Amino acid sequence: MTLADGIPVRVKDEWPEAVGPVHCRTPHYIRGKHGMVVRHLGDFPDPGDIAFEREPVMRSLYHVAFPFRELWPEGSDDELVVEVYDHWLEPEHRA
């Protein structure tokens, strides 16, 4: 999957840490939130696999931007940019 710069995405609202031991690089506060791809940063072996000595799956890594209003109830005009692996992202088709 390759996501173009500028396309809207949603981060999956999943909580693998509630299921069993994991090493997860997707911070809790962006799960289920809507953002926008800034750019593709490259492809990297999944740290969640390396941390458990599994053969790592290669993941595309994206810089994704979120407005503070999307993340926090108190909001603001500032924004937050996070590195997110592709298997956490769902492309969105906004009307």
Partner 1 sequence: MTLAKVLEADSAKLFAAVSGILAERGLVSPQEIVERMASTDRASPALGAAMVARAWTDPGYAARLLKDGTAAAEEAGIMMLGMPPLGVLENTPDTHNVVVCTLCSCYPRAVLGYPPFWFKSTAYRARTARDPRGVLADWGTTIPADVRIRVVDSTADYRWMVLPMRPAGTEGWSAERLAGIVRASDMIGVTVPPAQDASASPS
Partner 2 sequence: MAEATLEEERPRAHHDLGGVPRFLCEEIDIEPHELTDFDRQVDALRQLLSAKELMTVDELRRGIEEIPEEDYLRLSYYQKWIRSITATLIRRGVLTAEDVAARIDGASR
Chain residues binding partner 2 by CB under 8 A are 15, 17-18, 21, 23-24, 27-29, 31, 47-48, 50-53, 71-74
Question: What torsion, rounded to 10 degrees, do the Cα atoms 41, 82, 35, 18 define?
Answer: 120
Query: Cβ of residue 82: shortest distance to partner 1, in angstroms?
Result: 5
* CA 25 to each of CA 1, 33, 83: distance values in angstroms, whole numbers, following the listed order: 19, 15, 9
Degrees to nearest 5, angle at CA 35 with 30 and 37: 120
Among 10, 14, 36, 44, binds partner 1 (CB under 8 A): 44
Does residue 51 interact with partner 1 by CB under 8 A?
no
Q: Which residues bind partner 1 (CB under 8 A)?
A: 25-27, 29, 41-42, 44, 47, 61, 65, 71-72, 76-85
